[in-house]
Amino acid sequence: MRGTQDEKQVQTRMKYHVRRSTLIEKDINSVRPLIEDFNRWNSWSPWTIAEPDCPLEITGTPGEAGHSMRWDGQIIGSGINTLIRNDENRLEYDLQFLAPFKSKAKTGFTLDETGDGTHVTWTMDGSMPFFLFFMINMMKGWIAMDYDRGLRMLKAVAEKGGVNARTTNKGVVDITGLSYVGLKRTVSIEEIGDVMKKDFEAIVGEVVHKRGKAARHWLTLYPKLDMKNLQLTYIAAISDEELGDESLGPEYVSGTIQDGRALEISHEGAYEFLGNGWSMGMMYLRAKKMKQKDIPFEQYWNSPMEVEPDELKTSIYFPLK
């Protein structure tokens, strides 16, 4: 009878696998301590950055089986991560989420030293109830994005000694509406940086250089996020107060941001770490059960053509009902 019950339990769950990698230009002995010691995870964790004051309890000997970290946050939930195996180039963990929902997963890191540094692969193997089959790809998408953010920060910590970016929850603020014009694209999340850069270069060429006009606001709106296919739709835009009667080409779209209230997340630093701000905002909205209204957007307070990446200032706004 027990065997039959176990078989039924397996049949009612669907397995998923996530795998993400990066190359860190440091030797394996520089990378391994950042992964095997939970006391150092906060320097690159893609989750605790959303709640810096989250209570943590770390036990056991770093690098040895049984070393664990327990967290109990108001925003990121609670759980336990335990190191269960530490071999020459492989570390494995038992991961338990306790809140806002309960689940278990096996995670691990493979470290392959090459002539260029250390190739790090981060994996997760878990399962979900069969009746949630429609959420599997979405869940995998969110985990993949978190892993990518974590690996970018791990790379920065290993190569440069830290992540030179700061993300701050400013709370709910008043926003003043504006009308805008911009270029709309649907792209994969991986290619957004290069494609968006070209769009803003095109806007600068068309508006600033060709027409000699200025813009009070530079922003990007995000009308759609497709986690199943890891794609998003964005509008790289400027406000049109200074354009007067100028009419841009048919490839440009226009729209309006309404006056209202919004959750503001402030980000100071390179655009490659902007995902931390989005994660902080979305986790906060979910934890506080705040309802969104209209399209979330980024507003840029300075330009990468004028300041160093570490000095860039961006606000992410989540309009609220």
pLDDT in tens, 282-292: 999 999 999 99
Whether 94 and 35 share a structural domain: yes
Which pLDDT score, from 0 to 100, does residue 134 have?
61
pLDDT band at 246 (very low <50, low <70, confident <90, very high): confident
Q: Which residues contact 242 (CB under 8 A, 6 or more apart)?
A: 213, 214, 215, 216
At 10, the pLDDT band (50, 70, 90 cuts) reads very low
Q: How confident is the model at residue 135 (pLDDT cuts 50, 70, 90)?
A: low
239: domain CATH number?
3.20.80.10
The Cα angle at residue 186 between residues 253 and 280, in degrees rounded to 5 = 100
> Can you tell me whether residue 157 is helix, strand or coil?
helix
Q: Is residue 2 part of a domain?
A: no
CA distance 11 to 291: 36
Per-residue pLDDT, 314: 98
Please report whether residue 1 resides in a domain: no
Last residue of a domain, one of 111, 129, 163: 163
Task: Enter the tokens of residue 200.
Answer: 């803003």
pLDDT in tens, 296-305: 999 999 999 8
Cα–Cα dist 315/170, whole Å: 9
Which of 163, 186, 221 represents a domain boundary (last residue)?
163
Same domain, 150 and 223: no
297 belongs to a structural domain: yes
For residues 174-194, give the mean pLDDT.
95
CB 28 within 8 A of CB 90: no
**What pLDDT score does 131 carry?**
61
37 or 137, greater pLDDT = 37
pLDDT at 133: 62
Which H helix or E strand runs over 35? helix 28-36
Phi-psi region of 42 (alpha: psi -120 to 50; beta: other; left: phi over 0): alpha
Is residue 181 in some structural domain?
Answer: yes
Query: Which tens digits make up the pLDDT trace of 147-183?
Result: 999 999 999 999 999 999 999 999 999 999 999 999 9
What 8-state DSSP symbol labels residue 295? Answer: -
Per-residue confidence band for 136, with pLDDT thresholds at 50, 70 and 90: confident
Q: How far apart are CA 161 and CA 179, in angstroms?
A: 42
At 212-245, the pLDDT tens digits run 988 999 999 999 988 878 899 999 999 999 888 8
Residues 204 and 149 in one domain: no
Both tokens of residue 288? 């506080």
Same domain (yes/no): 178, 159: no
Residue 65: what residue type? A
pLDDT score of 44 more than 60: yes
Q: How many domains does the chain have?
A: 2
Assess whether 141 and 182 both reside in one domain: no
pLDDT over threshold 50, residue 198 = yes
Do 159 and 206 belong to one domain?
Answer: no
DSSP output for 209-272: IIT----S-EEEEEEEEETTTTEEEEEEEEE-TTTTT----TTEEEEEEPSEEEEEEEEEE-GG
Residue 5, pLDDT > 70, answer no
Residue with tokens 């959420």: 135
Could you report the per-residue pLDDT of 95-114, keeping only the tens digit for each? 999 988 888 999 999 999 99
Range of the structural domain that residue 59 is part of = 12-163
Q: In the predicted model, what is the mean pLDDT of residues 5-28?
A: 79
Instruction: Write down the pLDDT at residue 137.
Output: 80
Residues 206 and 301 in one domain: yes
Tell me: do 66 and 127 sit in the same domain.
Answer: yes
Percentage with pLDDT > 70 across the chain: 94
pTM of the full structure: 0.91
158 & 230 share domain: no
- Whether 132 is covered by a domain: the verdict is yes
pLDDT at 228 (0 to 100) = 78
pLDDT the model gives residue 132: 61
With vertex at residue 111, the alpha carbon angle to CA 108 and CA 114, rounded to the nearest 5 degrees, is 160
- pLDDT of amino acid 101: 80
pLDDT of residue 126: 87
The CATH number of whichever domain residue 157 belongs to comes to 3.30.530.20
Q: For residue 211, tell me if it sits in a domain.
A: yes
Question: Looking at the domain assignment, is residue 240 inside a domain?
Answer: yes
Q: How big is the CA angle at 277 (ends 320 and 32), to the nearest 5 degrees?
A: 150
Q: Are residues 312 and 180 in the same domain?
A: yes
